[in-house]
Structure 1
Amino acid sequence: MRSSQRLLVALACAEDDWPHEGWPAPDDPYVGRVVRVAPPYDTLHEGEPDVVVLRCAEPATSFPGLLAALGGRGVPVIVVSPRTDTETVVGVFRGGAGYLAEGDYCTHMLSSAVMAATVGHTYLSPSACAALREGARRMPAAGDAIERLRALLSPRERQVMELLSTGLGAQEIGLRLRLSEKTVRNNLSNIYAKIDARGSTEAVLRWLGATPAAPVLRT
């Protein structure tokens, strides 16, 4: 992330035009500039964007193509799509991207999602969260394993994880729990260490029982 400037976003539209022509607003606190890139996204290396926003009708095909174009560069991705089925949302989330379902977010939420992505948070709109939870519910029963994992956490850490799994970022979690954003981030760091998660995506998947990986308690 640029330390003294607002963020540069690459807007990748796989099929349709972008619906938010006025975004970002001149006074947007996070996003300063947007550049358009079209499939096959060969120009993504130009300008080194902070975040890529992919708008597409079929993430199952467009998202892997975008990842291939990024070539392993660690640029955060947010997918914007009308699809809200469980398989699509879970597939994108497992790929490490945020997910905003069309009609389920506003441009303020979009800017917040962009900012959150730069600090490692995977942002989900409400219907995307519901799809992720439904995907976890369909997984083979692993109640004992989930309870053992959750027992590793303090009551406050469990509160933080429950809110994180609904798509809230550190700032929003802090407002809900009346904690500073720094305190929430410290809690998240402790949580990741306790359940052996590399970031928010993996932590949420384990919290919901949507990954078979066994937790490891680090001392």
Structure 2
Amino acid sequence: MIRLLIADDHPVVRDGLSGMFAADPEFEVLGEAADGAEAVRLAHALRPDVILMDLRMPGMDGVAAIGELARRGNDARILVLTTYDTDGYVLPAIEAGATGYLLKDAPRDELLRAVRAAAQGQSVLSPAVAALLMNRVRAPGPEPLSPREREVLALVADGKTNREAAACLFLSEATVKSHLLNIYAKLEVGDRASAVAEAFRRGLLTPR
């Protein structure tokens, strides 16, 4: 028997899902949660095999709850069940640790199969989500720093001042400062040390 926890802020959705799974002897619904915090608490107390997790909920949302469950070492498989299939929802949920991602318009049989697969540790993705992820893999994002910006940042990482970096690259000091400001903006940092650290973290710079 697969033990389930259902997390959704809409009572009618929780009732519908509970009724559907309760009618099948293969499943047991252990509890229902109306938000992410309650889902985390019940998951710890009830130890379900699979959690059906909505994403947009008040207070702690689904992504935060998934991350918190992973941090606590909870071994429940988490199957996202939501109406949203855009990058801003799919990628954070999967990165947080979701086992699968389904949309709420999935047919009943597909949902039952997905829960069975999730309980066995298999990844389950709706066709729309699988296509989105495939497109992301085929079309990686642009290089965040230009070759010249990387040259400037490499010299800064070596301890060069703006004037010294300008001399090495045959640029004016004002141009080096302009490059650094662009680098800060692209890496979302506020100073030289943070820019260097972030560049190493992203693999844009490598130790010499």
Q: What's the secondary structure of 1:24's corresponding residue?
A: helix
> How many Å apart are 1:18 and its aligned residue?
4.8
Structure 2 match to 1:24: 21
Code of the residue aligned with 1:12 in structure 2: it is A
Task: Give 2:2's aligned residue.
Answer: 7
**Matched residue, 2:154:** none
Distance 1:61 1:120, change over 3 A: same
Contact 2:5 2:52 in 1 (8 A): yes
Give the structure 2 partner of residue 33 of structure 1: 29
Q: How far did residue 36 of structure 1 move? A: 0.6
- CA gap of 1:17–1:137, structure 2 versus 1, over 3 A, is farther
Task: Report the secondary structure of 2:94's partner residue.
Answer: helix
> Which residue is 1:135 aligned to?
136
Equivalent residue number for residue 43 of structure 1: 42
**What are the residue-to-residue correspondences of 1:4-153 with 2, within 5 Å?**
6-13=1-8, 15-19=9-13, 20-21=16-17, 22-24=19-21, 26-27=23-24, 30-39=26-35, 40-41=37-38, 42-57=41-56, 61-69=61-69, 71-97=72-98, 98-103=100-105, 105-140=106-141
How many corresponding residue pairs? 135
State TM-score, norm by structure 1: 0.53
Secondary structure at 2:75 match in 1: coil
Amino acid at match of 1:17: P
Q: Is the 8 A contact 1:55 1:79 kept in 2?
A: yes
Distance 2:80 2:52 in 1: 6
Cα deviation for residue 134 of structure 1 reads 2.2
CA distance in 2, matches of 1:81, 1:114: 14
Kindly indicate whether the alpha-carbon contact (under 8 Å) linking 2:66 and 2:93 is maintained by their aligned counterparts in 1: no
1:61: how far off? 4.2
For structure 2, list consecutive stretches of 5 or more residues without a partner in the other structure.
Answer: 143-201, 203-208
Query: Which structure is higher in helix share?
Result: 2
Q: Could you say which residue in structure 1 is the equivalent of 2:206? A: none
Give % identity: 22
Contact 1:87–1:135 (CA<8 Å) still a contact in 2?
no
Query: Structure 1 CA distance, aligned partners of 2:103 and 2:23?
Result: 24
Q: 2:2–2:119: 8 Å Cα contact kept in structure 1?
A: no
Q: Whole-Å Cα distance in 2 between the matches of residues 78 and 140 of structure 1?
A: 27
Q: 1:134 to 1:88 in 2, by over 3 A?
A: farther
| CA RMSD, 1 decimal | 2.9
Conserved 8 A contact 1:57-1:82: no
What SS does the corresponding residue of 1:9 show, helix, strand or coil? strand
- Segments of 5+ residues of structure 1 without an aligned counterpart are 1-5, 142-211, 213-219
Structure 1 segments of 4+ aligned residues over 3 angstroms from their partners = none
| Residue pair 2:4, 2:48 contacting (<8 A) in 1 also | yes
Deviation at 1:80, TM superposition (A): 1.0
* Counterpart Cα distance in 2 of 1:125 and 1:84: 9
